[in-house]
Amino acid sequence: MVKATYHKYILNFKRPSGTSRGVMTTKETWFVILEENGRRGIGECGILRGLSIDDRPDYEAKLKWVCENIDLGKKTLVSELVELPSIQFGLEMAFKSLESQDEFTLFPSAFTKGFDGIAINGLVWMGDESFMRQQIKEKIIAGFDCIKIKIGAIDFQTELNILKSIRKEFSVSDLELRVDANGAFGKDEALEKLKRLSDYQIHSIEQPIKPKQLDPMAKLCEVTPLPIALDEELIGVFSEKDKKNVLQTIRPQYIILKPSLVGGFIGSQQWINLAEQFNIKWWITSALESNIGLNAIAQWTYTLKNNMPQGLGTGSLFTNNFPSPLTVKNGTLQYSKNLKWDFNL
């Protein structure tokens, strides 16, 4: 008989982290703990308030219902939770953890054995010019050859100047630059801004305009001078038919999958299968989970054998994250067998 409980946990950022949606100092997350015959399974329901489709007043009530009805089993519960992707993912993770020999090794591989790493991008948050330049310098010193810069909150010309100064020092073969607008551009100004960004050999731009504008985004993807990656566009699209419609209509160059936001391993895999039908490339990103969620995403991502840099470098953002074997070294995420897990709520 499986016993289930849920627990709220507040992650504290080491320094305020800015996007075009605002500045974050804390991040709320929830854990589902399963217990059976002396074994434990841990899952993380990583919700992003103001962004997650399941940011709803009844969120905690839904978690309570899940724990009270855990005997329905994983398959039934996960199918019941399609419109609550972060709980769906937390549950998938918790059952996978419970079924595993070691509660933290969900997908055994060369990665979890410490033999291989995952290429990741270094993340640069919004702030004033000097703060952004400082972060970029730190990432390059740390050995990253792919950097993702959040844009759209400060003066656009200042952002272009920052990109220009990076390109003066580092060629496209030395450093891959990705930018993330989080929907900050207006649909009428977006193309002009993309043209100006393209002067600096940008790998891709995430979500240039706000989601749910399928026709304007489709037009943009058709004529864009630099590749466009859909991110927020995928949130709240539940059925396979609707997912196919988004990809078929917009025809983006890339999609970015955050399992906590798009329905866990099952929902993400469905997006991947559809994207590959349309020759759309993809990569995986965490959504500011603790090391528990990040670990599950990273282990699963490694099994997909996608060689592009992934967005999995978020573990060091918090002061009260759980000590874990996850480490970042020379632009890769690694699983160090010398370090131990310490999960105490």
Has 258 been annotated as catalytic?
yes
Has 340 been annotated as catalytic?
no
Q: Give residue 69's Cα distance to chain centre.
A: 29
Amino acid of residue 280: I
Evaluate the CA torsion angle 312, 316, 320, 324 in order and state its sign. Answer: positive
Separation CA 8–CA 292 (nearest Å): 14
Say if residues 121 and 154 touch (Cβ distance below 8 Å): no
- Rounded to 5, what percent of the chain is helix, strand, coil? 40, 25, 35
User: 3-class secondary structure for 220-281?
Assistant: HHHHCCCCEEECHHHCCCCCHHHHHHHHHHHCCCEEEECHHHHCHHHHHHHHHHHHHHCCCE
Q: Which of 27, 62, 150, 193 is catalytic?
A: 150
Q: Which of 27, 62, 193, 258 is catalytic?
A: 258
Q: Which residues are catalytic?
A: 150, 258
